[in-house]
Amino acid sequence: MKIATSAYPLTFFDSWSQYEDKIAHWVSDAAGNGADLLVFPEYGAMELATLDGAEVAGDLEGSILAVSDKMEDAAALHAKLATEHGVFILAASAPVMAGAPRPVNRAEFIAPNDLRDHQDKQIMTPFERDPWNVVAGGPLKLFDTALGKIGVLICYDSEYPLLGRGLAEADVILVPSCTETLAGYWRVRIGAMARALEQQCVTVQSSIVGQYPWSEAVDVNTGAGGIFCPPDKGFPGTGVLAEGALNTPGWTYGEVDLACIAEVRANGGVRNRLHWDEQQGRESATNVRLA
């Protein structure tokens, strides 16, 4: 498969049609370059708050509620484009109320055959806990697709090995992210690369890029697109299949061969995924006094 992962700039919209045009352009561009799977970033849908005006977009709680109200229409738009172009799309995530007292951070995964499902974030960052008051959603899911088995770890989730292990059967793990600082970007990137090493799979990071003073939620962003792999036979020794320039909007593309993933899992120089359970019983350190 060919993967396109985004470094995505936000837009202040005056109309829904402007949003439709933007997403259509991004999808058409990636599909036109041969991409089969498109990955948008975490909280990229926060730009939809601008449709309710600057006052709402600049208010944290107001923007959360405004975006949540628009996510079904946004999913329908992505589904239409996925069908038109014959691509799979992980749409930008958003806070979604989903009938609960507080929102979850949800990303829709959309197939080109009118089927879709979603992945909710599992572990909240400190700012999501307070002041956002976004809560953990439904369980991890493994999407069995024509492209292979695909999982999603939204941003902070990629920094937790047991969540990655929960997706051990995935060929590809998507990591949509939204990070304010260079340190935040690298934390998620290092997490994505570690999960690729441990589960001997490909991981795909997307990011928001740019500064947006009209938003209290996503005002400053640092990131890039990246596609990572186990540094082993059949893959680059750096563990990097493709990487975009930092803070530069656009798609980053990479080719992934599922046969290479199967081969490295079976016959790689190391077998992290196979040997995972050998950690059990060894994970508690014995205290040894040397002073």
| Residue-averaged pLDDT of the chain | 97
> Considering only CA atoms, which of 273, 278, 183, 217 is closest in space to residue 42?
217
- Both structure tokens of 257: 């061969």
* Interval 267-277 mean pLDDT: 96
Q: pLDDT by residue (tens digit) across 135-166?
A: 999 999 999 999 999 999 999 999 999 999 99
Please report which residue ranges of 34-111 form alpha helices under DSSP H.
54-57, 60-85
Confidence at residue 99, expressed as pLDDT on a 0 to 100 scale: 82
Q: pLDDT by residue (tens digit) across 241-259?
A: 999 999 999 999 999 999 9
Q: pLDDT by residue (tens digit) across 15-66?
A: 999 999 999 999 999 999 999 999 999 999 999 999 999 999 999 999 999 9
3-state class percentages of the chain: helix first, strand second, coil last, to nearest 5 = 40, 25, 40
Residue 120 bridge partners (DSSP): 106
Q: Could you tell me which residues come within 8 angstroms of residue 263 by beta carbon, excluding any fewer than 6 positions away?
A: 233, 234
Lowest mean pLDDT among 96-100, 200-204, 210-214, 231-235: 96-100
pTM of the model: 0.97
As a CATH number, domain 2-271 is 3.60.110.10
Q: Is the Cα dihedral 234, 229, 106, 69 positive or negative? A: negative
Q: pLDDT by residue (tens digit) across 51-108?
A: 999 999 999 999 999 999 999 999 999 999 999 999 999 999 999 998 888 999 999 9
- Both structure tokens of 75: 């999913």
* Interval 180-202 mean pLDDT: 98
What angle in degrees, to the nearest 10, is found between the helix axes of 16-32 and 60-85? 40
